[in-house]
Amino acid sequence: MIKKFLPFLLLAVIVYACSSDSSDNPTPSDGFDRGEILTHLADNIIIPSFEAFDSQLTTLETKATSFTDTPNATTLAEVRTAWLNAYKAWQHVEMFNIGKAEELGVESFVFFFNIYPVTVADVESNISNGTYDLNSSNNHDAQGFPALDYLLYGVAANDTAILEKYTTDANAANYKKYITDVIAQMSGLTTTILNDWKGSYRDQFVASTGNTASSSLNKLVNDFIFYYEKGLRANKFGIPAGNFSSTPLPEKVEAYYNRVASKALALEALNAVQDFFNGNNFNAAGSGISFKSYLEYLKRGDLVNLINAQFNTAETQVGTLNDDFYQQINTDNTQMTKAFDELQKVVVYLKVDMLQAFNVSVDYVDADGD
């Protein structure tokens, strides 16, 4: 009896061993060269995007120094322009929560750059005290672009009163120091991330060609979709428009105090997402291997067309909105929710259809009931 059973036992062991080897093998089964797509995305989009962002922050530092040294209408206008240019450059890197960026903060580097709305009470408390730790999670909502938005546009009722905060106010020195420290924090973190990419991480990223939860493409695809779904669709549109609450929350728009940049930032972000999907080189002509290319390799050109068409439809709807989303929500929120709806349609294509085609699993948990 045992002799008769042994061949079956041996066969079972062999089958198990083969299946085990297969499941542990991280090599993608579709034959697509992931190294090629990772190389293009790193060298022609991600690193150049961070370089441009780093450059804009350097300019912002320079203009902020001029402003804090000599606060007047001219230097205020110049630092505001530099703030907006850097904020636009930020829209091109926020999705890249990978490498050193992922190691910063509670979840990502975003917590040091763009948590909005800013908590004004925390900013004012820090300025009043004169001491603060910008690395503390308690100050995530008191730094970055939203804090500068408040300090440059919302700290007083008009430009004359704003300039008084930096000249004759009892805390003028602390107000100026806070601007300097917030920008220095942003610049320092960006330099750390960029140096990591231009150092050893770039090669590690490109070499990670497998299909596991920790492989580069799997993480990058998830970061891309997470940013589109949460950072762009929800934060810029859904939350302030009231899609996740009983009433609209217009005070939660991006660049709330500036009042004219929210649409410009949203369009910048949407263009950045579509360019990345299509593999368009950053600030240069041409394109390369991308998510689009991968889908076409998998004979899913139909999905590529659907995604790009819906991106375009969403962009058209966003383009109809008021430059100030706060004003848009308060006057005709229906148009804002329409923009959200058009953006939401892309989520299904990316999060369901594209991930299934790539054989990649979602690595984050929904928080808003999509």
Domain borders along the chain are 34-358
Q: Which of residues 69 and 28 earns the better pLDDT score?
A: 69
> Residue 306: what pLDDT?
99
Question: Superfamily for 34-358?
Answer: M75 peptidase, HXXE motif (1.20.1420.20)
Mean pLDDT to the nearest integer, 126-153: 98
Residue 11 has pLDDT above 60, yes or no: no
> Residue 365: what pLDDT?
78
| CA–CA separation, 151 and 162 (whole Å) | 8
In this structure, of 192-201, 234-243, 359-368, the range with the lowest mean pLDDT score is 359-368
Residue 15 has pLDDT above 60, yes or no: no
Residue 200 has pLDDT above 80, yes or no: yes
Rounded to the nearest integer, the mean pLDDT of the chain is 93
What are the distances in angstroms from CA 218 to CA 38, 44, 102, 208, 225? 11, 19, 14, 10, 11
- Three-class SS state of 92: coil
- pTM here is 0.92
What are the distances in angstroms from CA 143 to CA 79, 140, 176? 16, 6, 14
Mean pLDDT to the nearest integer, 352-366: 93
| CA–CA separation, 46 and 69 (whole Å) | 35
Q: What pLDDT digit, counting tens, does each position of 243-299 carry? A: 999 999 999 999 999 999 999 999 999 999 999 999 999 999 999 999 999 999 999
**Confidence grade of residue 24 (pLDDT, cut at 50, 70, 90):** very low
What are the distances in angstroms from CA 20 to CA 8, 28, 35, 359, 360? 18, 15, 25, 18, 19
Give the pair of three-digit tokens for residue 113. 């750059």
Q: What pLDDT digit, counting tens, does each position of 55-79 carry? A: 999 999 999 999 999 999 999 999 9
Q: What pLDDT digit, counting tens, does each position of 79-93 carry? A: 999 999 999 999 999
Residue 4 has pLDDT above 90, yes or no: no
Q: What pLDDT digit, counting tens, does each position of 204-219 carry? A: 999 999 999 999 999 9
Q: What pLDDT digit, counting tens, does each position of 111-127 carry? A: 999 999 999 999 999 99
Share of the chain above pLDDT 90, in %: 89
